[in-house]
A and B are shown apart, each in its own frame.
Chain A
Amino acid sequence: MIELDDVAYSYGGAELFAQVSLSLAPGSFHFLTGPSGAGKTTLLKLCYGELQAIAGDVRLFGAPARTLTRDQIALVRRKVGVVHQDCQFLDHLSVIENIALPLTVSGQDVDLANLQDLISWVGLGSQAEQLPPQLSGGERQRAALARAIIMSPDVIIADEPTGNVDWEMSQRLLTLLIELNRMGKAVLIATHDLNLIRAAKSQVGTRVLRLTDRRLQQAGADL
């Protein structure tokens, strides 16, 4: 679905990483780890077309990312659910309207009553009508996750999804992501949280990648 082949990226002429290859297949579960500033977020952005690689090939659902127009990239994003650490919402819309936003922008009829199951699944049943600024960090992460999966995407990409939440909440989020993976979704999570990785490995087959020294490597056995 998403393939990176010998990809490089640089900011202002300074190479961030190079010779990065990655393939996200249906049902795969990847963790991406590495020191701060190694380029994890940049690598994720290449995976959903927000950035273009300066070298190598990125293929998004079979199409070379370089040839995609902005509108075609928008269509790709409907197949990729993205969760950021700093979850951004439309603050003037309710939580449930924010979660339904991908349906709205894709022109689908939105019946908010039908979203109750999803809202309950992420544990936000009582916060559905609140505005995003009224949510806690963990609640925002879960709302972002609900928004990311509402289109039933093939791939879920999460950038430090547990960065702002306590251990208990991170376990809940992980459980949700594992459930989605069991439904056949490919999951890619960038995180510093080694405990999260270990917890996931005990429940699902994962591949842990480390982005360090400008290269992407398979993590050691300790992970």
Chain B
Amino acid sequence: MRALFRQFLWRFIGGAQADRSVPPTGFTAQLTVFAAAAMAFLAVFALALSLATSRLADRWSEELARTSTLRISAPADQADAQVRAAIGVLETTPGVASARALTAQEQQALLTPWFGPDLPLETLSIPKLIEIIEEGSGYDATGLRARLQAEVPGAVLDDHTSWRAPLVKAAGRLRSLAWVSIVLIAATTAAMVTLAAQAALAANAQVIRVMRLVGAQDSYIAWAFIRRFTSRAFAGALMGSLAGMLGVFFLPSTDVAGGFLTGIGFQGVHWLWPLAIPPLAACVAFFATRAAALRRLKEQS
């Protein structure tokens, strides 16, 4: 295994003279660098999207799983009594860390996006809301509902299950789409490199003839092209990745603009992830060029 790796390194890093056998210029060089840079740039954003949706799904799942809401619909003269009764029940329920009734201001703030800030809350028959924070493995929802039905008839427990699941599912779908995008980007890179390599091999038919005439083996000729296209793809992807990282870095922050989309980005060690794109692009180019070169050399024999 070590010998194989050494041979690989010798072939890849060594052989500068061998590399010179293939003319250095041509549109395929620019095409490969540009394609790798563009694809890496896109891959950075797809990766950022994937990581952002992962965080979002985790956050939604975590936050919503740890909280629930008790809604009390009762006549105005009974509402406060029912709230107190409900809190009493909740305080004695295992798995409930805390329970508190939302203030009128908090309820007003919740309704402001729909009805505006001047809503006369006291004139409307709005249910009272109690926020429940869970602890440990949470409470037994079925048991709590039964107790509430007996002691607080107007209470409806919403543990967020019904709308948490589709949100988490949607975030998961977004993450899957981001990964599919990354795979498509890799496939497109492979296709572009294959085309460029084939064009280079066709343009260098005479070079191949001369090298064969003087005793070059297929693997030697193929490596001359493989090294070149792999290093070009790496250089292009490095440029594209750095540009993409800069683009992500300068996206407006969540604090400024708010909302989900501005949450796209990298946090902490996730900034290292885009640095994996250039080596991966080089790997894609390596295998694409190798396949194209060996196929072409077989055809030309």
Verify that A and B bind, or say they do not: yes
Give chain A's interface residues, CB within 8 Å of chain B. 70-71, 74-75, 77-78, 82, 88-93, 97, 101-102, 104-107, 110, 147, 151
Contact at A104–B21, with CB atoms within 8 Å? yes
Contact at B301–A105, with CB atoms within 8 Å? no
The residues of A that contact B214 with a CB separation of less than 8 Å are 77-78, 101-102, 105, 147
A96 → chain B closest CB, angstroms: 12
11 more A-B residue pairs beyond the given contacts A75-B217, A90-B21, with a C-beta to C-beta distance below 8 A: A71-B219, A74-B215, A74-B216, A74-B218, A77-B212, A89-B210, A90-B23, A101-B21, A104-B17, A105-B215, A105-B220
| Cβ-closest chain A residue relative to B209 | A88
Number of residues from B at the complex interface, CB < 8 A? 23
CA distance A71 to B211 in the complex (A): 12
Provide the B54-96 mask, 1 if CB < 8 A to any CB of A, else 0: 0000000000000000000000000000000000000000000
| Cβ-closest chain B residue relative to A88 | B210
A-B complex: 9 closest residue pairs judged by Cβ atoms: A105-B216, A78-B215, A77-B215, A102-B214, A74-B217, A71-B217, A92-B23, A101-B214, A88-B210
Contact at B206–A88, with CB atoms within 8 Å? yes
B259 at the interface (CB under 8 A from A): no
B223 → chain A closest CB, angstroms: 11
The residues of B that contact A70 with a CB separation of less than 8 Å are 217-218, 297-298, 301
CA distance A97 to B20 in the complex (A): 10
CA distance A100 to B224 in the complex (A): 17
B162 → chain A closest CB, angstroms: 67
Tell me the total A-B contact number using a CB cutoff of 8 A: 62
The residues of B that contact A106 with a CB separation of less than 8 Å are 215
The residues of B that contact A104 with a CB separation of less than 8 Å are 17-18, 21
Give chain B's interface residues, CB within 8 Å of chain A. 17-18, 20-21, 23-24, 206-207, 209-220, 297-298, 301
| Cβ-closest chain B residue relative to A87 | B210
| Cβ-closest chain A residue relative to B221 | A105
The residues of A that contact B17 with a CB separation of less than 8 Å are 97, 104, 110
Best-buried of A70, A82, A106 by chain B (most CB within 10 Å):
A70
The residues of B that contact A88 with a CB separation of less than 8 Å are 206, 209-210, 213
User: Could you list 19 examples of A-B contacts with CB < 8 Å?
Assistant: A70-B217, A70-B218, A70-B298, A70-B301, A74-B212, A74-B218, A78-B215, A82-B213, A88-B213, A89-B210, A90-B207, A91-B23, A92-B24, A101-B211, A104-B18, A105-B18, A105-B214, A105-B216, A110-B17
B214 → chain A closest CB, angstroms: 4
The residues of B that contact A105 with a CB separation of less than 8 Å are 18, 21, 211, 214-217, 220
The residues of A that contact B18 with a CB separation of less than 8 Å are 104-105
CA distance A109 to B241 in the complex (A): 38
